[in-house]
């Protein structure tokens, strides 16, 4: 896994982020919205990609077909080797000493594998460089998994914004987190 910063000329990743948005969120961002974000000098999009080949189904093959399936897997492996696969991304805006997580997502098959944690670590390093001391976000009140993740990452509930979300209508929990910067515990 590697973390990359998405740039406006990386159409492949912009398309993949938009596709993951559509798979995960009831209110997905379009490719245009993502490209527009990349035009903003106060925004960053980081993604975690893997260049490993997807797992082959050889192991689940019946013993009598194992040799032909192994040959098939070996012949297709080069076409998948090194092809980047999007595991997750974060869209982050910042002004002065505050940053906002506008979106953070992990592909369903890569959840609970540390992808989102690594994205937060990247944000933390960037925040340190930029003297960003506080992160903000909003989350659907029904998204208990995300709320639990944010609390574990140090976020606290600041309030509720009534009917913030549409499609379906729902309240948002506002959360924030203090971020260690050059002026705090570091020597």
- pLDDT single digits (tens) 43-59: 999 999 887 655 554 44
Tens digit of pLDDT for each residue in 129-141? 999 999 999 999 9
Between 64 and 23, where is the model more confident? 23
Q: How far, in whole angstroms, is CA 110 from its chain's centroid?
A: 11
Tokens of 164: 């913030």
pLDDT (tens digit, 9 = 90+) per residue, 104-133?
Answer: 999 888 888 889 899 999 999 999 999 999
Q: Which domain holds residue 87?
A: 2-178
Q: Please indicate, yes or no, if residue 184 is contained in any of the structural domains.
A: no
Distance (Å, whole) CA 1 – CA 132: 26
Q: Is residue 30 part of a domain?
A: yes
Q: How far is 101 from 4, CA to CA, in rounded Å?
A: 17
* Tens digits of residue pLDDT in 59-99: 444 445 444 444 444 444 444 456 778 899 999 999 999 99
| % of the chain exceeding 70 in pLDDT | 80
Q: Per the structure, how many domains does the chain have?
A: 1
Whole-number Cα distances in Å, 60 to 57, 76, 109: 6, 17, 19
pLDDT, mean of residues 130-155? 95
Please state, in angstroms and rounded to a whole number, the distance separating the CA atoms of residues 40 and 180: 25
Give domain status of residue 146, yes or no. Answer: yes
Residue 170 placed within a domain? yes
User: For position 67, what pLDDT does the model report?
Assistant: 45
Here the CATH number for the domain that contains residue 76 is: 3.40.630.30
Has residue 116 been placed in a domain? yes
């Amino acid at each position: 896994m590697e973390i990359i910063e998405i740039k406006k000329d990386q159409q492949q990743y912009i398309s993949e982020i938009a596709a993951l948005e559509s798979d995960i969120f009831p209110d997905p961002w379009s490719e245009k919205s993502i490209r527009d974000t990349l035009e903003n000098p106060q925004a960053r999009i980081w993604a975690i990609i893997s260049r490993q080949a997807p797992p082959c189904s050889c192991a689940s093959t019946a013993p009598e077909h194992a040799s032909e399936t192994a040959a098939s897997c070996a012949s297709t492996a080069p076409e998948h080797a090194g092809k980047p696969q999007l595991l997750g991304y974060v869209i982050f805006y910042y002004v002065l000493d505050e940053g906002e997580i506008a979106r953070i997502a992990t592909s369903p098959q890569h959840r609970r594998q540390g992808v989102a944690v690594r994205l937060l670590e990247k944000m933390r390093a960037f925040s340190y460089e930029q003297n960003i001391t506080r992160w903000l976000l909003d989350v659907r009140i029904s998204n208990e998994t995300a709320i639990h993740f944010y609390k574990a990452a140090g976020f606290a509930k600041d309030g509720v914004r009534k009917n913030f979300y549409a499609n379906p209508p729902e309240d948002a929990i506002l959360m924030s987190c203090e971020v260690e910067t050059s002026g705090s515990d570091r020597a």
